[in-house]
Amino acid sequence: QQAVIEAERRKDDADILDVVPVPSTAKEVILDGLTDEQSVTEALNELAGLLGISSLLEREFLALSTGETRKVLLARELLKKPDWLVLDEPFDGLDVETVSRFAQYLDKLSTRCTLIMVVNRVSEIPVWAQRLLFLQNGRIAWQIEGDTLDDTTLQPLRQIMHIQQNVEKLPERDSDCHAPRRSDPNAPLVRLNNGRVAWGDNVVFEQLNWTILPGEHWQVIGPNGSGKTCLLTLITGDNPLCYSNDLNVFGYQRGSGESIWDIKQHLGIISNSLHLQYRVNCSVADVVCSGFYDSIGLYKTPTDRQRLLCREWLVAVDLEQEAKTPFQSLSFGDQRLLLIVRAMVKHPSLLILDEPCNGLDEINRSKVLAMLDLLAREGNTTLLYVNHHSEDKIPAIKNTLNMRDYQPQ
């Protein structure tokens, strides 16, 4: 996934080199390396219908949402009709409806193709699996024949995956490095009036009026492509359409001369996009410390206090032994866990969580959700949470924004 996205980004940056950029469409990414014969086109149309991407095929690949990108890359691999297919967390980032359709498709595919599927959720173990392996510390810790799978035989696995070290208290804030207090602590963190996002003729959402008050935690829901991530990037300032909307963030009217750092100093962010962008190969400890400075990589010398807090956060997620390990040598799940800690480390006024648990196993997912709930209940941080899994609840969140309600009629 990262290799395909990086190749497209290089095309997007071609104008810097005095070359006219020609970004690929979703269809071109899917068909790359394949002949555009009738059989391929028919198979693509079938897959596009299954994954719900028929209307996306002529859109620019880099303009797609996280879930839409995932669907396109799945179609790309499935269209090759391999004899063997390895699927690593294939349901991450997909909405509930797509997961159901795709699971049925894999059930049919399993009769004519050897499938190996890596999952972190017991609920996602496929019915067609003939053998189940549980890996722990690089070894097979437990295995069973697929035709004997039932609630009784899965109980040992559930017990292993639900063992967790409860975090009863989070590390403190760094009193020497935090955003300045706002003049009115009760003023809205975010206010969007009649929000609208459109790319050309494609309207993502419209007529959205939304206010986020301090301590008012929100979950944003909706199918892939409904504008969840797009809405979050308006708030973070990573979407240029924030300047064409009537949007106030932390008391700053967007487009009134504020800098991006005026906004970022109050924010903590974890998203798939940030994970892809964090390519600096600094140490695990430096990644955590970079959260104090909102930087990708660490370019300032942390204080002794910050180093101490960093160690406490690493202990909380059982990564203290990896403090000097290069970030890029970690597994995807450990990288994700570390970036969640980075987002939390300064106890930000607003913590934006865009599918934070992608790639996490059951143990770390439970731990992260408990830590986020603790952070919310401390009272200094407001949570804004996007997630497709109903079981990944954060009890402190009581408000829901459904992006279906703002789709064009």
Which amino acid, 351?
Answer: L
Decide which of 27, 62, 81 is a domain's last residue.
81
Does some domain include residue 176? no
The answer as to whether 241 is a domain residue is: yes
Burial class (CB in 10 A: 0-12, 13-18, 19+), 116: exposed
d(C-alpha 169, C-alpha 357), whole Å: 20
Contact in structure between 122 and 158 (CB atoms under 8 Å): yes
Beta bridge partners of 88: 118
- Any residues with CB less than 8 A from the CB of 226 and at least 6 apart, and which? 204, 205, 403, 404, 407
Are 60 and 205 in the same domain? Answer: no
Strand ranges in 243-314 using DSSP code E only, listed in sequence order: 246-249, 252-253, 267-270
H/E element holding 320?
Answer: none
- pLDDT tens sequence across 350-400: 999 999 999 898 888 989 999 999 999 998 999 999 998 888 999 999 999
Is residue 31 within 8 A of residue 40, CB to CB? The reply is yes
| Residue 1 maps to a domain | yes
What are 212-266's pLDDT values in tens digits? Answer: 999 999 999 998 888 999 999 999 988 888 888 999 999 888 888 888 888 888 9
Let me know whether 259 and 392 are in one domain.
yes
Let me know if residue 179 belongs to a domain: no
In a domain? residue 265: yes
Do 196 and 51 fall within a single domain?
no
195 lies in the same domain as 77: no
Beta bridge partners of 25: 60
The CATH number given to whatever domain includes residue 360 is 3.40.50.300
Q: Does 348 lie in the same domain as 206? A: yes
Q: How many CB atoms within 10 Å of residue 214?
A: 17
Q: Tell me, yes or no, whether 343 and 214 share the same domain.
A: yes
How many domains, the chain? Answer: 2
Give me the DSSP letters along 200-218.
TTEEEEEEEEEEE-TT--E
**Same-domain check for residues 76 and 215:** no
Q: What residue spans of 139-294 are helical by DSSP H?
A: 155-161, 228-236, 260-264, 272-277, 284-290
Q: How far apart are CA 47 and CA 54, in angstroms?
A: 9
What is the Cα–Cα distance from 252 to 259, expressed in whole angstroms? Answer: 10
What is the DSSP annotation of 331-389?
Answer: -HHHHHHHHHHHHHTT--SEEEEESTTTT--HHHHHHHHHHHHHHHHHSS-EEEEE-S-
**In this structure, are residues 407 and 228 in contact, taking their beta carbons and an 8 Å threshold?**
no
Contact 157, 134 (CB under 8 A): yes
The pLDDT, as a whole number, for residue 218 is 97
DSSP H helical ranges for 141-259: 155-161, 228-236
Residues in the chain predicted with pLDDT less than 70, given as ranges, are 1-22, 36-38, 148-149, 151, 153-166, 177-180
Last-in-domain residue among 38, 58, 81: 81
Mark whether 235 and 358 lie in a shared domain.
Answer: yes
Q: Encoding tokens for residue 370?
A: 């408990």
Enumerate the β-bridge partners of residue 372. none
Look up the domain containing 380 and give its range.
Answer: 190-406
Domain boundary among 44, 63, 81: 81
334, two tokens: 């450990």
**74 and 198 inside one domain:** no
Per DSSP bridges, beta strands 382-386 and 350-354 are: parallel
Domain identity same for 50 and 197: no
Whole-number pLDDT of residue 341 = 97
The whole model's pTM is what?
0.84
CA 139 to chain centre: 28
DSSP state of 32: T
Tokens linked to 208:
């959205």
Confidence at residue 188, expressed as pLDDT on a 0 to 100 scale: 94
Residue 155 lies in a domain: no
The helix/strand/coil state of 120 is: coil
